[in-house]
Amino acid sequence: MKRQHLLFAFVMSVFIMSGCSDSGQEETSSDLNKDIFNEEGYPIVDEKIELIMMGPSTPHQTVPWDELKVFQVLKEKTNIGFHFNNPSAESMEEKLNLAFASDDLPDVLLGMGLTIEQEADYGAEGQLIPLEKLIEEHGPNLQKMLEEKPEVRKSITAADGHIYSLPFVDSELGFLSYQKLWINQTWLDKLGLEMPETIDDLYSVLKAFKEEDPNGNGKADEIPMASSKDVNVHNVIQAAFGFTGHLDVTTGDVRFAPMEEEYRDYLTFMNKLFEEGLYDSESFTQDKQHVNAKGANEQLGVFYDGGPFLTVGIEQNEDYVALSPLTSEVSNKKIAPRTSLVQPGVFAITNVNEHPEATIRWVDYLYSDEGAILYNYGIEGEDFEYIDDKQGIRYLTPEGMERNEFISKIKPLGVAEPRTHDHIQELQLYKQEETDPQDAHIMQQTLENIKPFAEPMFPHVHFTEDEIKTLNTFRTDIEDYVEQMEAQFITGGASIENDWNEYLDTLEDMGMEQYIQIHSDAYDRWKAVE
């Protein structure tokens, strides 16, 4: 995720800080124009103010941000408007870094995906202001969220104890947070096969998919299981061997899965599938579009994606069901890796902003149920309607218009949002088979087959500046090497039997012990946040 900027950085002296960090930074708690600022009610300010907001423009965005309904409605409600600087999604990283390097900053960053490293760096430099005191004094919805959801505060608190950005917080009822494999139920039924429960069962099913012509075209063109270089099945299969990801805390301690014996068992299993043609031979070289083409051609047995239609198209969406987590000889516990519900780095205020109190009140509204509905759905009666006395909700998409085109007139499309998803998710689940049948199938499968076995993945932890400097000397090399060797071991380019010990020695030489220790220290700090 990334960024960009706008205006001049002037008035740095405006901000008085309180609550010193290790860097000596204090928290902003002053507004230049308190005489126009209202602590409660609306408008937030009695006189209109204009701020500069930087946020990415995605390829799906059909109208400029200054025409989006959410910003227009909020301008009328709050008296706070924005001038927008919207770099493309491809260039926003470069633009954001340039803005901070030149100290030519916007007032607000929205959807720029600030990284942990950027928050630590720009927070220490004073270019991002701490938000915790502003939240405590002027953000009741945010404060309530932090009190009710401990994972949120832990995941957005930097190593120096400050909060520099606000998150998008997903719902546990959602389906996008749960990694899952999709398996062709139509093929299972045709061949009289049971749903796999173990990796050995999966092997038998994939072998039948390959040999027994389940698509019925008389050709041996079935692809039992497929991946692409950017969307693959690996992490879900690893779960059958006891891991939620490369960094894993299921045992209570931080361990690096690619150095464990159970990971070696995972590689052995995947190599067996590859050697027998049960795992697509192009899985490490093809892009997602190639997998989609095979899916549209009714060739796929098992794949990983957020929903079937994203790979095989709408027509085949309900031919596939979510494969419940598998077990193996080395792990008899079903594990469904769940990504963190907290997506940090979504909204931040810079030190050129002359109205931090007003700004935090503006964004705090989006964390209310009412604000989240406005941001996601627009205006009742114009853009959406409630169902059955506000138990459910649906867009009022004009006939002939695609839903994404309609939504892109309401809010920034494809951009992380500063809000929570709980209330919206509850509304969406009501009669979802009527309001959104495409997602209803995915949700039903997720809630029945995946969510009961959810295990959190390694959380969003924050590093100190010294830890970041140390990690930067070897982290990329380690992670790239692991990825390369995973492919080599699976495809047979390296021998699991003969090259495993050399692989471990190489990781040790690259700084693996320090890599794990730094993550372990950061995880301990994450757990300690209250």
pLDDT of 437: 86
Residue 251 reports pLDDT greater than 50: yes
What's the pLDDT band for 29 if we cut at 50, 70, 90? very low
The answer to whether residue 229 scores a pLDDT higher than 70 is yes
Topology alike, domains 12-173+342-376 and 181-338 = yes
Q: What is the pTM for the complete model shown?
A: 0.87
Beta partners for residue 108, in sequence order: 53, 349
Which are the contacts of 490, defined by CB distance < 8 A and separation ≥ 6?
Answer: 267, 270, 271, 274, 279, 284
390 to each of 69, 411, 439, 528, how far by Cα in Å?
22, 22, 20, 39
103: left (phi over 0), alpha (psi -120 to 50) or beta: left
- Chain-centre distance of CA 498, in angstroms? 38
Structure tokens at 377: 């759905």
Q: Which residues contact 249 (CB under 8 A, 6 or more apart)?
A: 255, 458, 523
Residue 5 pLDDT: 33
Q: What is the pLDDT of residues 138-173, one digit of tens each?
A: 999 999 999 999 999 999 999 999 999 999 999 999
pLDDT at 247 over 90: yes
**What is the number of alpha carbons within 13 Å of residue 345 lying toward its C-beta?**
19
Angstrom distance (rounded) from CA 111 to CA 1 = 8
* Predicted confidence (pLDDT) at residue 32 exceeds the cutoff of 80: no
In this predicted structure, the answer to whether residue 467 has a pLDDT above a threshold of 50 is yes
Residue 201, CB-side half-sphere exposure with 13 Å CA sphere: 15
pLDDT above 70 for 11: no
Domain boundaries, the chain: 12-173+342-376, 181-338, 465-528
Q: Which two tokens stand for residue 53?
A: 């907001």
Each residue of 423-452: pLDDT tens digit? 999 999 999 998 888 899 999 999 999 999
CA-to-CA separations, 499 to 234, 255, 493, 495, 506, in angstroms, rounded: 20, 21, 10, 5, 11
| Whether the Cβ atoms of residue 385 and residue 377 lie closer than 8 Å to each other | no
- Compute the distance between CA of residue 147 and CA of residue 513 in angstroms, rounded to an integer: 35
The rounded percent of the chain whose pLDDT value lies above 70 is 94
14 or 485, greater pLDDT: 485
Give the domain 181-338 fold: D-Maltodextrin-Binding Protein; domain 2 (3.40.190)
- Asked if pLDDT for residue 2 goes beyond 90, the answer is no
User: Both tokens of residue 452?
Assistant: 């009961």
Neighbours of 387 (CB within 10 A): 15
**pLDDT for residue 516 is more than 90:** yes
Structure confidence at residue 368 as a pLDDT band (50, 70, 90):
very high
Q: Is the CATH number of domain 12-173+342-376 3.40.190.10?
A: yes
Question: Rounded to whole angstroms, how far apart are CA atoms 344 and 349?
Answer: 14
Dist CA 45 CA 42 (whole Å): 8
What mean pLDDT is reported for the chain? 92
DSSP 10: -
pLDDT of residue 33: 59
